[in-house]
């Protein structure tokens, strides 16, 4: 059985399918988001190509510590903080939000 990493910070819901949580060391903010695959992509499974469809989860990071975020924004986080051009994609293709968080939380 795999060891589960204990999270030090609570997951904050931005909107449906979009969450922010700091890494356990508090040095990076992670944005965990769902996205839909509609069959445009394909993957090779057991020697056969299959269309990729369904809901998947990805992680993006923002190089900002928890302390820096509170000092800069306090409780009034500006709308442009959530602009995707501020977030670096680091991982994707997770079948569940929990799997994405488990993979990323200790980063």
Whether 46 maps to a domain, the answer reads yes
pLDDT of residue 59: 95
Non-local CB neighbours of 67 within 8 Å, separated by 6+ positions: 26
pLDDT of residue 1: 45
Lowest mean pLDDT among 2-16, 32-46, 60-74, 78-92: 2-16
Whether 3 maps to a domain, the answer reads no
Whether 4 maps to a domain, the answer reads no
What percent of the chain is helix, strand and coil (3-state, nearest 5)?
20, 45, 35
Whether 68 maps to a domain, the answer reads yes
DSSP structural state of residue 66? H
Of residues 74, 81, 90, the one with CA closest to residue 23: 90
How far apart are the C-alpha atoms of 68 and 16, rounded to whole Å?
A: 26
> In terms of pTM, does the model score above 0.95?
no
pLDDT of residue 31: 94
How many domains does the chain contain in total?
A: 1
Domain boundaries, position 100 = 12-104
Q: Which residue has the tokens 């997770």?
A: 94
Integer angstrom CA distances of residue 93 from 20, 43, 58, 59, 86 = 18, 12, 6, 9, 21
Contact (CB, 8 A) for 101 and 32 = yes
- Give pLDDT tens digits for 9-63: 788 898 999 999 888 888 889 999 999 999 999 999 999 999 999 999 999 999 8
Whether 1 maps to a domain, the answer reads no
Whether 53 maps to a domain, the answer reads yes
Whether 19 maps to a domain, the answer reads yes
Whether 78 maps to a domain, the answer reads yes
């Amino acid at each position: 059985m795999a060891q589960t990493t204990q999270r030090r910070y609570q997951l904050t819901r931005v909107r449906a399918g979009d969450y922010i949580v700091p890494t356990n060391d508090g040095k990076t903010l992670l944005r965990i988001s769902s996205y839909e695959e509609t069959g445009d992509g394909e993957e090779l499974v057991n020697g056969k190509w299959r269309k990729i469809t369904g809901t998947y989860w990805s992680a993006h990071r923002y190089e900002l510590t928890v302390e820096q975020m509170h000092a800069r924004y306090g409780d009034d986080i500006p709308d442009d903080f959530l602009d995707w051009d501020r977030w670096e994609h680091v991982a994707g293709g997770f079948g569940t939000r929990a799997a994405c968080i488990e993979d990323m939380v200790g980063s």
